[in-house]
A and B are shown apart, each in its own frame.
Chain A
């Protein structure tokens, strides 16, 4: 069964960077794009971007250009998202998610990683 296991909560200082991970299992990692989604406390959901691990291609929501960098390690079936120049606006839960197949977006989700930006 498809599983997406994310790394643990992070407490980071303003101006720093953080890298969170999403380890995939139960399917061929290189065959499906991996998406990242942001949810600020008490707020809705924002799509950040996707990476296709098969060739490393990425696509970002313009809003997150320069903020988020998506990478993937085929050897460990793990997707990563690095967030840079962190501010309080970056404090949020970040989810990785995968489509279920054709015409089936975000069918599978990680459990979420809480990033708290605080001095």
Chain B
């Protein structure tokens, strides 16, 4: 099974900051990583698929990059509506989520 190590577990940011979350896979996942946003009491919302492709409706301040085992997700210019938890998902071999990152306002 592929394991996904996501960091940091929590992040504190001010409005307008840039924040970055990383996920490292236990083996090469060939860019098959997606990123999700989840707000309390809601289902996750897909933001990015295949490492860096923004899905329809995702603001351009979100971005993703990476290859092989190492991937990152960034939010430039954090807005109040971005306060949420974020999860990576590998879908190269079955499906494994990262443990999540909780983004809070400083």
Contact = CB atoms under 8 A, between A and B. Distances in A.
Interface of A: 35, 44-47, 59, 61-62, 95, 97, 100, 103-107, 109-112
Q: How many interface residues does chain B have, given as a range?
A: 20 to 34
B15 interface: no
Given A95-B43, A100-B55, A112-B43, A106 B34 contact: yes
A97 B43 CA distance: 10
Interface in B68-106: 87, 89, 91, 94-100
Nearest 4 A-B pairs (CB), nearest first?
A109-B43, A47-B95, A45-B97, A105-B91
Interface of B: 1, 32, 34, 36, 43-46, 49-50, 55, 87, 89, 91, 94-100
Given A61-B94, A106-B89, A44 B100 contact: yes
Given A35-B95, A47-B95, A61-B94, A107 B100 contact: no
9 contacts: A44-B97, A44-B100, A45-B44, A45-B89, A47-B97, A95-B44, A105-B89, A105-B95, A106-B34
Contacts of B46: 100, 104-107
A46 B97 contact: yes
Contact of B55 (A107, A109, A111): A107
